[in-house]
Amino acid sequence: MPYLVLGLLIIGAVIYSVIIKIKHLDPLDKLSSWPYEKKQQVLSPLEMAFYQALLAHLQPGLAVMAKVRLDDILYVAQKSRETGALRDKLAGRGLDFLICESATLRPVCALDFDDPLDAPAGQKETLAKILTAAHLRLFSFQPQYEYTAADFQPINDLFASGNY
């Protein structure tokens, strides 16, 4: 009788481990290689022209970061019933550009570049509401043929003031 119980326990353990392995199989494990490829450019041609203008016209001491996820720079400050929903508002959202102090990478302001292929207006309103709540200033820019130092003076002034 004890051997029967021991045998049933062993058989049960084997069946359990097989079921666990089947549940955790990743369908991608069947592929011989994953078909990922790097993009040739991170920024569109319009975004790249804007990025180059930022580098040319922003004060020394400022760093330009492109395609930054909100959940990398913001967090929900208070625990509440809405914490999960508030975190969800950050998930999957990003900034076109983030301007930071180059020495510390402390955020100075966010830039929304109105690329025609960009997010719909409703998403931009949500982004503005999130950034306002986080006290991170948002500047919006339209694509232009050419940019001048005057286009970026409000960012330089904000940095010079230290109020960010």
Residue 148, burial from CB neighbour count under 10 angstroms (0-12, 13-18, 19+): exposed
Which has more confidence, 11 or 47?
Answer: 47
Q: How confident is the model at residue 127 (pLDDT cuts 50, 70, 90)?
A: very high
With a cut of 80, say whether residue 121 has pLDDT above it: no
Q: Which of 27-31, 62-66, 94-98 has the lowest mean pLDDT?
A: 27-31
Residue 79 CA: distances (Å) to CA of 75, 84, 105, 127: 11, 9, 26, 21
For position 32, what pLDDT does the model report?
83
Overall average pLDDT of the 132-159 stretch? 96
Q: How big is the chain, counted in residues?
A: 164
Q: What percent of the chain has pLDDT over 90?
A: 61
Q: Locate 62 and state its tokens.
A: 């400022």
DSSP label at 61? T
CB 62 within 8 A of CB 102: yes
Question: Domains along the chain?
Answer: 45-161 (3.40.960)
19-23, 80-84, 91-95, 146-150, range with the lowest pLDDT: 19-23
The reported pTM is 0.77
